[in-house]
Amino acid sequence: MPGTERWLVTSSRHTAYSGMLPGWLAGHYRASDLLIDLGPLAEKAGAKLVVADVVGLDAARQTLSLSSGEEIGFDLLSLATGGETDISSLAALGDSLLSVRPVGAFMERWSNFLDRNALASTISIAVAGGGAAGVELALGAEVAIRRLFRNARISLVAPEDGFLSGHAPQVRKRALAELARRGIAVHFAQAVGAEGGLLLSNGDFLPIDCVIAATGSRPPRWLAGSGLACNEAGLVAVGADLRSISHGSIFAAGDIIDRVDRSLERSGVHAVKAGPVLAANLRAALSGARRSQYQPRSRTLYLLATGDKRAIVSWGRFVAVGHWAWRIKDWIDRYFVSRYTNPARNGQ
Ligand SMILES: Cc1cc2nc3c(=O)[nH]c(=O)nc-3n(C[C@H](O)[C@H](O)[C@H](O)COP(=O)(O)OP(=O)(O)OC[C@H]3O[C@@H](n4cnc5c(N)ncnc54)[C@H](O)[C@@H]3O)c2cc1C
């Protein structure tokens, strides 16, 4: 829009597409296949790219504080920084703990872990977290470590009510069958990090070389002092138009929000699909036009990668598993990334 200046503030210049992370772990993708360079995208949008962490927001003063020490004032803010992985109960694991977020840092630390243990013959890995990400990461890691180590043990630890909650019972059944078939031990328990392993709420102790934390996301800490209206969990409270209910100049989407008008699970599908609505409403806020609403479709297509080039597909009540489902997922994911990395596809 004429007469506007735009900034894109982001922790790193490259953003990794989480949907392809389990496939990368299993060795089906190179790191470059899932990385999106934000430089050309910012340039195309006429935005100045600022590579820094937001460490503070003052909603009333309309300023952002950055890790570089800079302060940026704004008339309009679009918040889409996602959440942080909640690792509070696992912190005692120290260097053996690999948090899945930020995804780029996780990829680096996993590669370092494998390099450090290249000469070991026995390895024991656990994934903490029973959401879709935890299940996919356990299945992807299983492929990787069985290829590299003679004796590989892998476990998935999650409270039973947190295992693929929100997914159809058939999806849970298929996922459990797949985990069992691949020799992945599933422990339905709460896990607490301890030196050398995980202490489970059923009293068991799992000796572990590395724990991948996919324990769900919590709101970033810097949000707490922002003055923005948040829900009990600390997520930004927005309406269907993705505008903060307390500060009209602030919009938000993705894992950082809580919708006041309906419940909406935190998933990449909603983060991505809300994008065009968010963009339209930022323009509407400047022009005074009517704002649009983000209304998700009643059914969402989910494709859970099983690490061995198959996937579990669910669409409403339809649930199936197969190589064909992986081929669909692979095509969708590669196409998604190429829209942001291939100038011919994003209309440059
Ligand atoms: C392994 C894994 C697999 C997944 N697979 C799927 C899937 O197949 N389908 C699906 O629907 N969902 C999936 N999800 C969930 C999905 O990744 C999230 O719901 C989605 O990424 C949320 O999008 P977002 O834009 O809110 O945040 P993010 O994707 O986390 O993006 C946040 C961006 O903001 C930047 N940022 C963060 N903090 C700051 C800060 N303080 N300052 C500046 N920049 C910051 C980050 O660098 C990042 O670029 C998966 C998640 C994981 C972990």
How close is the Cα of 119 to the center of ligand 1, in Å? 34
Q: How far apart are CA 338 and CA 346, in angstroms?
A: 8
Dihedral pair phi/psi, residue 306, rounded to 5°: -100, 5
CB of 54 closer than 6 angstroms to any ligand 1 atom:
yes
DSSP bridge pairs for 313: 303, 320
Provide the angle, in degrees to the nearest 10, between the axes of the packed helices 169-181 and 132-148.
10
Choose among 313, 337, 270: nearest CA to 29. Answer: 337
At the second CATH level, the architecture of 85-217 is 3-Layer(bba) Sandwich (3.50)
What pLDDT does 338 receive?
96
Same fold? 6-81+226-299, 85-217: yes
Q: Which DSSP category does 230 fall into?
A: B
- Quickly name the fold that domain 6-81+226-299 has: FAD/NAD(P)-binding domain (3.50.50)
Residue 316, number of CB atoms within 10 A of its CB: 10
What pLDDT does 348 receive?
45
How close is the Cα of 106 to the center of ligand 1, in Å? 13
What pLDDT does 346 receive?
58
What pLDDT does 345 receive?
61
Q: Are 66 and 50 in contact (CB under 8 A)?
A: yes
What is the full DSSP assignment across 115-171?
Answer: HHTTT-SEEEEEEE--SHHHHHHHHHHHHHHHHH-SEEEEEEEE-GGGTTTTS-HHH
CB of 100 closer than 6 angstroms to any ligand 1 atom:
yes
Phi-psi region of 340 (alpha: psi -120 to 50; beta: other; left: phi over 0): alpha
Q: Residue-wise pLDDT tens for the chain (348 aa)? A: 888 999 999 999 999 999 999 999 999 999 999 999 999 999 999 999 999 999 999 999 999 999 999 999 999 999 999 988 888 899 999 999 999 999 999 999 999 999 999 889 899 999 999 999 999 999 999 999 999 999 999 999 999 998 998 889 999 999 999 999 999 999 999 999 999 999 999 999 999 999 999 997 889 999 999 999 999 999 999 999 999 999 999 999 999 999 999 988 888 889 999 999 999 999 999 999 999 999 998 888 899 999 999 999 999 889 999 999 999 999 999 999 999 998 666 554
Count, residues in the chain: 348
Q: Are 101 and 217 in contact (CB under 8 A)?
A: yes
- Enumerate residues 6+ apart whose C-beta is below 8 A from 7: 47, 48, 49, 50, 72, 74
- Atom 12 in ligand 1: which residue has the minimum CA distance? 268
Q: Are 215 and 137 in contact (CB under 8 A)?
A: no
Break the chain into its structural domains and give their ranges. Answer: 6-81+226-299, 85-217
CB of 239 closer than 6 angstroms to any ligand 1 atom:
no
Dihedral pair phi/psi, residue 164, rounded to 5°: 45, 40
| Ligand 1 mutation target, pool 87, 137, 255, most atoms within 8 A of CB | 255
